[in-house]
Structure 1
Amino acid sequence: MMVNLGIHRPALAYSMTTLGAGMMNHIFNFYYVKLFLNQYKITEGAFNQAQVVFMIWNAVNDPLFGYIQDNSKVPWCSKRRQSILYGAPFYALAFLLPWFPWTNYKEGDWLSGMHLMIALCVFDGMLTFVLLAQCALFAEISTRHESRLQLIKYNQVASLLGSSSILFCGLVSDNMEKFSNFQTFTVLVAVLSTACMCYTGIFGISQYEQKESSLERYKSDGSLSWSSVFTLTKQILTQKNFIIFVSMNFFQVLHATFCSNFMMIFADNLIPKDTLPSFVRSIMYGAGFMFPQLLVLISHSMLTKIGYYKVIMYAFYIEVFASVFMLIMGPQRYYVLAIFLTTNMVLVHASFSIFNLPIADIVDADMEKYKRKSPISSMVFGTNALFTKPAQSLAPMLVVAILNKYGYEHLTSKIDQPDPSLFLDLHGAMFYMTCLVPLCIAIAQIIIWTPYSIRSSHITSV
């Protein structure tokens, strides 16, 4: 690996896409649910319909794009950096779709449901195309654990900078209260993100691209066909460690989506505004997205010494103990609740940030087992997404259904005057979801993750 002036250039090139995508993804996931529920006044039925369509598309497009990128002979698909370069502008445009209403929405307007469905599907389609190529680049820049830790290190710095978009967006727009400011900020983010990802598109070269021409690589791998899709997918799914990882990762995506979509809603309802003013809340929300990267950077030596398997397992145990502690403390401990909401989000996103390490090891194991000339990195990442991405739709659907059962829909209505007693039941439901969702998910993950067997890559020199 080439290192000039202390800069690990492949890691820098790789991490620039993380910076650009992070700025957009954090804002998108954090604000879109509240925007469509509270401002566009989408109905629960339309919200769920959009999420179902999104869930299907979200699951299908990852393995589809993964197979195309691994087997296409067209350079802008087959070369990882070119996929990022040409996909970046469209990714940024897709990010802007939700923030500009198509008309002056009224309560129950069917067009708001159509807007949500198209925004989710288009954004995820472009996100998948660009970030699958980046994920494949992670596995293909180097097979050495030390080099991959360098990628993780640079990636977390970039992710830390990218996650600050939540903090600045909250401060500029007063947590979306000043909507015109919010819209202007998202346009600025889209422009900056495109520039960052284009840097990866120019300089992010994998070791396989350095060693051989794209034409030689894809001639040896065969042509596009459904039979080869099924064959490769079957080979991936027969790996025990892949099934374990995907099962655990499904719950992680569910938990991360739950935190990102509802942290603001729960905090706004459970913690009085005079206890936690808007400025402090903006810092709290920003910390929920920024501190995970700091935690991963601090844990860099642990990843080197004990490996990602134990680090991930420790995070699950901490989530269990923290959830039980919060249940015991109760909902009236507002400062403790604010710390718990932030800490839980930090732990979930921090452990999720190192998931590229196990899946890269799975790519290596697949390549060794089937004696491939080059890894099918995009297909492995895409097949993982096939089973985990539906959690991104299930989480908001289930939580919104529960909230509306306890009166949240009436609480945000411009027409109805809600009964004050609704607050008690709704707040109780919110508090128990805040504690029990992390508790149940972490217990399930501990059980699933225990038999995972690739545990020594941190001490094995490849």
Structure 2
Amino acid sequence: MGRSVWGFWQGVFSTGVLYGSLSLFISILHNVFLLYYVETFVSVYKIDKISFWVGETVFLIWNSVNDPLFGWLSDRSFLNSPQSGSQVTSSEVVLKRLKALSTNGPLFALSFLAFWVAWARPGLQFLLCLCLYDGFLSMVDLHHSALLADLAVSAADRTRLNFHCSVFSALGSFSVFLSYSFWDKEDFYLFRLFCVTLASFSVLGFFIVSRMLRHSFQQMACPRKDETLRQEISVGSSPSTQPEKPVTVRLYLKQLSRHRNFKWFVSMNLIQVFHCHFNNNFFPLFLEHLLSDNISASTGSILLGISYIAPHLNNLYFLTLCQRYGVYHVIRWLFMVKLGLSVVMVLAGADHIYLLCIFIASNRVFTEGTCKLLKLVISDLVDEDFVVNRRQQATSALLFGMVALLTKPGQTFAPLIGTWLLCVYTGYDIFEREPVKDSLVSVPDVVSGSGTPPLRLGCFYLLVFVPIACALLQLAAWSQFTLHGRKLQGIKTLRQSAQHGHLIDVKAI
């Protein structure tokens, strides 16, 4: 009876649905964290300014370092050639990642709860909570992202997995809307209860789904005569050619430095991370100074809601385009759309309010949509690294970690460059709230004959010229990326056929 029930639920929930549902358990917590953790420590716990900046600085360093660190700890056993015994199989790699998710997922949810109850001095709690939460988040995100490259090799299968992730991430975004009903700085009880409910749901979800995935994969990974079914869930075992010596950190970094497509992708992705966080940081500023006098508060909240939900829903359409035209071309089109919309907005000016509303919302939607496609590209880079360096196993988590290490500085550059540009053009300092004498625009009459306020015009410049600059730089870097078309198909064929013999020379592709 028990086995029949288990088989029934396995029939209802496919591997793609189970994999995608893990995004739900992450997003319902992380969206609430992003929206409320600063306000909680500043307004509720009354943290002082020095402790806040010290905590953010330490968090910035830890946030950048932990991704490659955890990636190396996870994948170092796959880089070294075994001295004796059998090699690690691809099925064992997947099961290892699922075991890590079943452990770190619930711990991630529990670390989320540590923010909403005062248990130490505000400065100490802020530092410990941030580092603890981000550590478990990085572990969960790394293994979840690495599974995208380990569960499937073909572009169609990976797109299908990413499709399910987008659906469940969109569902997880609704936790933000529900949170407004419980958030009250004066009475924190209901909000704490809401967070406990979310965390409990996430713990239960991680435990059940990871167990179902492991059980499903163990059954499907058993030797079968049906090769088609086998390829659907397995990436194949490693090539028979063994590395001459274990791969050290130094050797791995040297190999990565010679990975041309990796370097161009990181260059493009650094700008993308910068632009995503620039939109997040300055979205309220744009609403306040460009639209607040012309739209109602409800319209502003709708724009904010669209900016959270629409990227996930829009990504479902982008993924169908990826299946038809390839990820490379879809991302290039999105860069061109971003550039085109920004140029149109420059020509239209800041006085077309409805066009401005559409542009502010669409700019964030398209930018976030691009970010959600990049995991597919990183998975392709995992395949190329596997083939070019003749790995025993693909080091998926480590490569995702290295990408995070090299692109996360964009999170810091975004507010720094944005506030500097705003101060240069308008004299407006968001910290001091006093104009700077030598700013390029200090008097309204100099700026516009119609008396356009310099701050509003400066915000408009930021809104339109930052996307233009980002799009031009990204198109230049993306044009140098060659892992698409026939070359990408050749790489995937080599990885899938690695179990049948020695790898063919990559230069022959």
Q: How would you bin the TM-score normalised by the shorter chain? A: 0.7 to 0.9
Residue by residue, what CA displacement relative to the aligned partner does 1:74-115 show, whole Å, maximum 9, x if unpaired?
x99981111111112221233344455678xxxxxxx76655
Match of 2:371 in 1: 352
Is the radius of gyration larger for structure 1 or structure 2?
2
Structure-1 separation of matches of 2:259 and 2:107 = 35
Structure-2 separation of matches of 1:304 and 1:314 = 15
Asked if residue 204 in structure 1 is aligned to residue 223 in structure 2, the reply is no
Alpha-carbon offset, residue 400 of structure 1: 5.3
Alpha-carbon offset, residue 389 of structure 1: 1.8
What are the ranges of 5 or more consecutive residues in structure 1 without an aligned counterpart?
A: 104-110, 413-420
2:141 to 117, 131, 139: 131
Higher relative contact order (CA 8 A, sep 6+): 1
- Relative to 1, partners in 2 of residues 1:15 and 1:407: Cα closer, same or farther, differing over 3 Å? same
Alpha-carbon offset, residue 280 of structure 1: 3.6
Match of 2:273 in 1: 253
1:394 to 413, 418, 433: 413
Match of 2:86 in 1: none
Check whether the contact 1:77–1:83 (CA below 8 A) recurs between aligned residues: no
**Residue range with higher mean Cα deviation, 301-310 or 322-331:** 322-331
Match of 2:85 in 1: none
| SS of structure 1 residue aligned to 2:27 | helix
Alpha-carbon offset, residue 402 of structure 1: 6.2
1:276-425 map, 5 Å:
276-277=296-297, 279-399=298-418, 406-409=428-431, 424-425=453-454
1:71 to 57, 72, 76: 76
Check whether the contact 1:26–1:163 (CA below 8 A) recurs between aligned residues: yes
Match of 2:500 in 1: none
Structure-1 separation of matches of 2:407 and 2:54 = 19
2:475 to 446, 454, 460: 446
Check whether the contact 1:81–1:200 (CA below 8 A) recurs between aligned residues: no
| SS of structure 2 residue aligned to 1:408 | coil
Alpha-carbon offset, residue 151 of structure 1: 0.3
Which residue identity is paired with 2:101? Answer: I
Structure-1 separation of matches of 2:293 and 2:140 = 40
1:85 to 102, 116, 136: 102
Structure-1 separation of matches of 2:136 and 2:16 = 23
| SS of structure 2 residue aligned to 1:354 | helix
Check whether the contact 1:163–1:286 (CA below 8 A) recurs between aligned residues: no
Count of aligned residue pairs for this structure pair: 436
2:31 to 26, 31, 36: 26
Structure-1 separation of matches of 2:361 and 2:188 = 25
Alpha-carbon offset, residue 377 of structure 1: 0.7
Asked if residue 272 in structure 1 is aligned to residue 298 in structure 2, the reply is no
- Relative to 1, partners in 2 of residues 1:92 and 1:8: Cα closer, same or farther, differing over 3 Å? closer
TM-score, reference length from structure 2: 0.73
Structure-2 separation of matches of 1:399 and 1:426 = 13
Structure-2 separation of matches of 1:56 and 1:302 = 37
Check whether the contact 1:71–1:221 (CA below 8 A) recurs between aligned residues: no
Match of 1:53 in 2: 58
Which residue identity is paired with 1:239? Answer: H
Alpha-carbon offset, residue 322 of structure 1: 1.9
Which residue identity is paired with 2:206? Answer: M
Asked if residue 142 in structure 1 is aligned to residue 152 in structure 2, the reply is yes
Check whether the contact 1:246–1:388 (CA below 8 A) recurs between aligned residues: yes
What are the ranges of 5 or more consecutive residues in structure 2 without an aligned counterpart?
A: 1-6, 79-91, 224-236, 435-443, 445-451, 494-509
1:167-178 map, 5 Å:
167-170=177-180, 173=183
- Relative to 1, partners in 2 of residues 1:27 and 1:440: Cα closer, same or farther, differing over 3 Å? farther
| SS of structure 1 residue aligned to 2:248 | helix
Residue by residue, what CA displacement relative to the aligned partner does 1:262-285 show, whole Å, maximum 9, x if unpaired?
3234324433277222x4433322
Residue by residue, what CA displacement relative to the aligned partner does 1:202-226 show, whole Å, maximum 9, x if unpaired?
13349799469xxx99xx999xx9x
- Relative to 1, partners in 2 of residues 1:190 and 1:331: Cα closer, same or farther, differing over 3 Å? farther
- Relative to 1, partners in 2 of residues 1:263 and 1:185: Cα closer, same or farther, differing over 3 Å? farther
Which residue identity is paired with 2:205? Answer: C
Structure-1 separation of matches of 2:474 and 2:70 = 28
TM-score, reference length from structure 1: 0.80
Structure-1 separation of matches of 2:364 and 2:333 = 15
Alpha-carbon offset, residue 238 of structure 1: 1.8
- Relative to 1, partners in 2 of residues 1:335 and 1:248: Cα closer, same or farther, differing over 3 Å? same
Match of 1:232 in 2: 252
**Residue range with higher mean Cα deviation, 321-330 or 233-242:** 321-330
- Relative to 1, partners in 2 of residues 1:77 and 1:366: Cα closer, same or farther, differing over 3 Å? closer
| SS of structure 2 residue aligned to 1:204 | helix
| SS of structure 1 residue aligned to 2:484 | coil
Alpha-carbon offset, residue 447 of structure 1: 0.9
- Relative to 1, partners in 2 of residues 1:322 and 1:183: Cα closer, same or farther, differing over 3 Å? farther
**What is the aligned-residue RMSD (CA, Å)?**
4.0
- Relative to 1, partners in 2 of residues 1:157 and 1:82: Cα closer, same or farther, differing over 3 Å? same
Asked if residue 158 in structure 1 is aligned to residue 168 in structure 2, the reply is yes
Match of 2:465 in 1: 436
Check whether the contact 2:94–2:151 (CA below 8 A) recurs between aligned residues: no
Structure-2 separation of matches of 1:452 and 1:297 = 24
Alpha-carbon offset, residue 347 of structure 1: 0.7
Which residue identity is paired with 1:438? Answer: P
| SS of structure 2 residue aligned to 1:127 | helix
**Residue range with higher mean Cα deviation, 159-168 or 59-68:** 159-168
Alpha-carbon offset, residue 303 of structure 1: 0.8
1:113-132 map, 5 Å:
116-132=126-142
